[in-house]
Structure 1
Amino acid sequence: MHAPRLFTVFILAVVPTLAFAADTEWRRYSVPSTGTSVDMPVSIFTSDAGAPENGTGRRFFTQDRRADLTVQSLPNPGNDSPATFLAKMRPPAGIIYKRVTPGFFVVSSIRDDRIWYNRCNRGQGSMNCVLINYPAAEKRQWDEVVTRISRTLRG
């Protein structure tokens, strides 16, 4: 009797994951004042949460607020390299993934059962960034989405 119930719970848990990947609608989002742009999954991030705390851009949430995406440009008046800019930001200890090049940096880790991902591309006097936070338990279903967002960041 417990096996059919467990199977039903499993199916219900998998169905949203399949819909998540299959029904994603993408649009190009741009920060008008800086030209920073990125492909954004508008069918996932449906709620506009307004301006970010720092810099220029927008923040978006999923309908249930379990995940968020911030697209922003941060001032970099000294035109610091990505490595120097990242060091000045004092990222938290325990970073799981870190990649730094002359043109961008990416850092990611887990905090409070949530994955946080941050990529910033070096611009002229700015760092153009995407920040994504989502449940760590949903990592596999977010991998493709995060990769596309990251690879399409321009600015």
Structure 2
Amino acid sequence: MRVKWSIVALALTFAPTVADAQPISWQRFVVTETMASVDVPTTVFTEDAGKPETGYGRRFLTSDRRANLTVQSVPNEAGDSPAIFLARKNPPADIVYKRVTPRFFVVSSFRNDMIWYNRCNFAGRFMNCVLINYPAAEKRQWDSVVTRISNTLTSS
């Protein structure tokens, strides 16, 4: 019995952030320069990591820094379609999931022990994007979080 308890305690120690027993709280984040917006799980991404490298928006981290979220509006001065915009970014050849429509693109794959997910919505002069990186071993726990973030990304 004592050994079983130790195994359970060890498993709980490494439980992913999104699998915590506490309900997830969400807040609408707005990129003020472009009015793009998205639901952000504030109980998951608790740390502000500053501005993205390009464009407008914000980066967020989990408290343990194992996962991150970037909400970003990137200039699209040429007015490229999602397909052309994605092609210009030279995405890696080993993409596991890819969907491109006239209004958005989604790409996702693995890098080391992480899953990266990127969705960008066409918004004329900007592409409004969410980029999420999280541990691949926790995919099932993250699925609903990633889905809500992706589905709530809107442009003005």
TM-score of the superposed pair, with normalisation by structure 1: 0.92
Shift of 1:145: 0.2
2:89 counterpart letter in structure 1: M
- SS state at 1:45 partner: coil
Distance in structure 2 (CA, Å) of the matches to 1:17 and 1:132:
13
CA-atom RMSD in angstroms:
1.8
TM-score of the superposed pair, with normalisation by structure 2: 0.91
Shift of 1:23: 1.6
- SS state at 2:115 partner: strand
- What residue in structure 2 maps to residue 6 of structure 1? 7
Distance in structure 1 (CA, Å) of the matches to 2:122 and 2:43:
28
Distance in structure 1 (CA, Å) of the matches to 2:121 and 2:28:
17
1:138 counterpart letter in structure 2: E
**Unaligned segments of structure 2, at least 5 residues:** none
- What residue in structure 2 maps to residue 147 of structure 1? 147
Per-residue deviation, residues 100-121 of structure 1 (Å, max 9, x unmatched)? 0000000000001000000000
- What residue in structure 2 maps to residue 109 of structure 1? 109
Runs of 4 or more above 6 Å deviation: none
- What residue in structure 2 maps to residue 30 of structure 1? 30
When residues 16 and 121 of structure 1 are mapped into structure 2, their CA distance, relative to the original with a 3 A threshold, is closer
| Identity over aligned pairs, percent | 58
Report how many aligned residue pairs link the two structures. Answer: 154
2:134 counterpart letter in structure 1: Y
- What residue in structure 2 maps to residue 19 of structure 1? 20
**Unaligned segments of structure 1, at least 5 residues:** none
- What residue in structure 1 maps to residue 64 of structure 2? 64
Shift of 1:92: 1.3
1:109 counterpart letter in structure 2: S
Distance in structure 1 (CA, Å) of the matches to 2:133 and 2:19:
20
Distance in structure 2 (CA, Å) of the matches to 1:119 and 1:126:
13
Higher helix share: 1
Distance in structure 2 (CA, Å) of the matches to 1:12 and 1:47:
21
Distance in structure 2 (CA, Å) of the matches to 1:117 and 1:138:
14
- SS state at 1:122 partner: strand
- What residue in structure 1 maps to residue 132 of structure 2? 132
- SS state at 2:102 partner: coil
